[in-house]
Chain A
Amino acid sequence: MARYEIFVTYKKGIFDPPGATAARALTSLGYSEVEDVKIGKYITLDVADGPDEAARVREMCDKLLANPVIEDYRIVEAQGSVSAG
C-alpha cells in the first residue's frame, strides 16, 4: 500500500474568496506584512499497490478530486509512512 498526499489549489488568476478573506482578516489583526493568502485542500489517499498506481491517482484527481477548469493539483507520494491496515 502507498500513501499519496494531494494538494489542490486554485489555478493562477482564479480568485480565491476564502484566501482573500483570510488576507483581509490577517491585515486587520495587525499583520500588515501579509501580501497574499491562498487556501486550498489537502487530501490523503491510501491505495493498494498496482501496476498503474500513479496514473490512476492522477486520473482520480482529474475526474473527481480536483476540477481542472479552476484547480491545479500536486501529488506527493509519502515515503515509508504507511502501515498496512
Chain B
Amino acid sequence: MRFGVVRFPGSNCEQDVVIACRYLGFDVDYIWHGDTDLAGFDAVVLPGGFSYGDYIRTGAVARFSPVMGEVVRFAERGGPVLGICNGFQILTEAHMLPGAMLRNRGLKFICETVPLRVEESACQWTGVPAGTVLRIPINHNEGNYTCDPETLAAMEAAGQVVLRYCEPDGTRAPGGSAPNGAFDDIAGICNERGNVFGLMPHPERVVDPEANGTDGQTFFTRIVERLAGV
C-alpha cells in the first residue's frame, strides 16, 4: 500500500500529506505533475496550495498537467483519489466531481478549525459513522462550493455529500453554517462510485495528537483498510 502525492507548481501542502502518511505508518512518495506513470501507487492525493498561482481560476491550469490524464484513468479504474483544498478545486475543474468553487462570501481568506458533520455517503475514504462531528482546519479563499439544485438533489440521492460545515453540536444553523458561504454547507463530496473524494478542510493537519488532534486520521486509515479488504 503506497500513497502518491502529486506536486504541482505552487502546491504547498504536499509535505504535510507525506508527513501525515508516514506518521500513520504508511508508505508514501511524491509524484511530479509532469509524470505520466502512476505505477506502484495505490492511492493518489492532490494536495492543497496555489497550483499555477490560481491564475484564471483555482485548479483551472493544473487540471491540464500531464499527470492529470493518468489520474483520470486511475480513478476510472476505481483507484482512490483524494483532493484536499486546491486538490478539491482541481477535481471540480477536471469534472471528476460536480460543481465549482467561488470566492468566499465576504471575500475573506479563512484560516480556522471548524466543526464538520460526516454525512451518510458512498465515500470510500470515510471511516467514521454518519453524524460524527470532526474538527478540521480550513485554509482557503475559494471554498464557496456551488452547484445547481438538480445536481445537489442527484448527489444527495447517490450519497455523494460526504461532509458539511455545522455548529459544534452537529446541527446546521438556519442561515447556513459554512463560514465561506458554501451551498447547502457542503465541505466535501465524492463521485458516485465513492473512490474520488474532494474536501476543502485539511485532514493531513490533524493526524498527530501532539499537533492539533487526530480527527483527520480516519480518511487515510480507512482507505488503507479498504484496499486491504477490511
Contacts and interface: CB of A to CB of B under 8 A. Distances in A.
Interface of A: 13-18, 20-21, 64-65, 67, 69-70
Interface centre among B57, B106, B181 (most CB of A within 10 A): B57
B104 interface: yes
A41 to B, nearest CB: 9
Interface in B140-163: 144, 146-148
Contact of A17 (B56, B98, B105): B105
Given A17-B103, A17-B106, A17-B107, A67 B57 contact: yes
Contacts of B57: 67
Interface string B100-144: 101111110000000000000000000000000000000000001
Contacts of A13: 148
Given A64-B56, A67-B93, A18 B103 contact: yes
A64 B60 contact: yes
A18 B141 CA distance: 12
B106 A15 contact: no
Interface in B83-100: 92-93, 98-100
A83 to B, nearest CB: 27
Contacts of B99: 69
A15 B146 contact: yes
B107 A70 contact: no
